[in-house]
Amino acid sequence: MSIDWATLGLQALNVLILVWLLARFFWRPVADMIEQRRAAAQALLADAGAKDEAAKAALAEITQTRAGFAQEREALLVQAQAQAAAARTALLAAAAQEAEALRREARAAMQTEQAAAAQAWRARAGRLAVDIAARLAARLRGEAVQAAFLEFLLHEIQALPPAARQVAALEVASATEISAAAQSDITARISAALGATPRITFIIEPALIAGLELRGPHLRISNSWRADLDRIEQDLTHDG
């Protein structure tokens, strides 16, 4: 077997030319394309990583925001509970104050009513006592009683200042009719006590029960059982 070196050299040359052609026109563009695809893939991966990081950051921000909302919600709930508790305490305090005020008003009203009732009973008791005393005193009318009241009246006249005793006309009231002789005696004694001679008129007032009352334009001496009983009734009422 012989080797045809010329043919072998041509074939080798063809192979080299083919390899050069492939390297020139096929492998390099393919490699460039692959490199471009790889670069594009890297860019896509980098962009995807960036977006993933952005998504993670957004998620973290959302989580933080939600946590902030939760904290704010808790703070608002605590504040609302505190405000509700304060309002409840204020309402209870106001209700207690109002209830205490109502109790005080009720006690004051009750005390006022009790005082008024007691005053009314004291007044009735005083009037009853005075009525009883008046009925008893009415049985004691007589000249001796009249004389005693005349002495009281003269004593009151003598206690007056001199200027008060200078009167022109007077009125003597009695519970019963006085005889003419007794009127003359009373007139003389009153004039002597006054140190003057006024015109004296006698009138009858049964409500006096007993006694003599002297009345003038600027002079009044209440000297009767009626006046004494009225003073006793006032004292009974006011002392109560």
- Residue-wise pLDDT tens for the chain (240 aa)? 566 777 777 777 777 777 777 666 666 676 677 777 777 778 777 777 777 787 778 777 877 877 776 787 777 778 878 887 887 788 778 878 887 888 888 788 877 777 776 666 565 655 655 565 555 555 555 677 788 889 999 999 999 998 888 888 999 999 889 999 999 999 999 999 998 899 999 999 998 888 899 998 888 998 888 888 888 877 776 665
Q: What is the DSSP string of 177-217?
A: ---HHHHHHHHHHHHHHHTS--EEEEEE-GGG-SBEEEEET
**Statement to judge: residues 72 and 94 lie in one domain:** yes
Please list the alpha-helical segments (H only) found in the chain: 5-22, 28-138, 143-158, 180-194, 225-239
**Statement to judge: residues 197 and 187 lie in one domain:** yes
**Statement to judge: residues 184 and 219 lie in one domain:** yes
Tell me the backbone φ, ψ of residue 223, rounded to 5 degrees: -140, 70
Q: Which domain holds residue 86?
A: 1-139
- Integer angstrom CA distances of residue 30 from 34, 45, 194: 6, 22, 161
pTM of the model: 0.44
**Statement to judge: residues 38 and 50 lie in one domain:** yes
Task: Quote the pLDDT of residue 62.
Answer: 77
The residue from 139, 170, 201 where one domain ends is 139
Using DSSP, state whether 26 is helix, strand or coil. helix
**Statement to judge: residues 175 and 214 lie in one domain:** yes
CATH number of the domain residue 148 falls in: 3.30.2320
Count how many domains the chain has.
Answer: 2
**Statement to judge: residues 2 and 111 lie in one domain:** yes
The residue from 104, 139, 174 where one domain ends is 139
Task: Quote the pLDDT of residue 201.
Answer: 94
Task: Quote the pLDDT of residue 214.
Answer: 93
**Statement to judge: residues 51 and 27 lie in one domain:** yes
**Statement to judge: residues 29 and 128 lie in one domain:** yes
